[in-house]
Amino acid sequence: MTVVVYHNSACGTSRSVLALIREAGIEPAIIDYMAAPPSHEEMLALLLAMNMAPRQLLRTKEHLYLSLNLDDENKTDRQIIDAMLAHPELMQRPIVVTEQGVKLCRPTTKVLDLL
């Protein structure tokens, strides 16, 4: 089984999901999205696969969320995606991709549906 994890090593949930995948005997491909954010097209594909609007992937408790006025309901999907790609810390994580689907694995146990 191929598993890809969009991972942030500073995030406890992301580390827990990675540990669950490895406990299942799978060594996933890890994408450090903080160092290498997805392209705009990749982000659109992930959102489409998760059936999520860009705003749903935002971390609203990050300082940047307010300083970039992302709480403004008039911000377009494109503006929100551009903000997340420019500042990947704004993205919820981890996102896990398998043949079973794509999910934002919060809470951690959501990854079990993909394994």
Which two tokens mark 28? Answer: 């996933």
Length of the chain equals 115
DSSP one-letter code for 91: B
Sign of CA dihedral 98, 104, 106, 110: negative
H/E run at residue 13: helix 12-23
* Catalytic position from the list 3, 11, 46, 80: 11
Phi, psi dihedral angles at 100 (to 5 degrees): -80, -15
Do 59 and 92 contact (CB within 8 A), yes or no? Answer: yes
β-strands 95-98, 101-104: how paired?
antiparallel
105 is catalytic: no
Catalytic residue annotation? 11
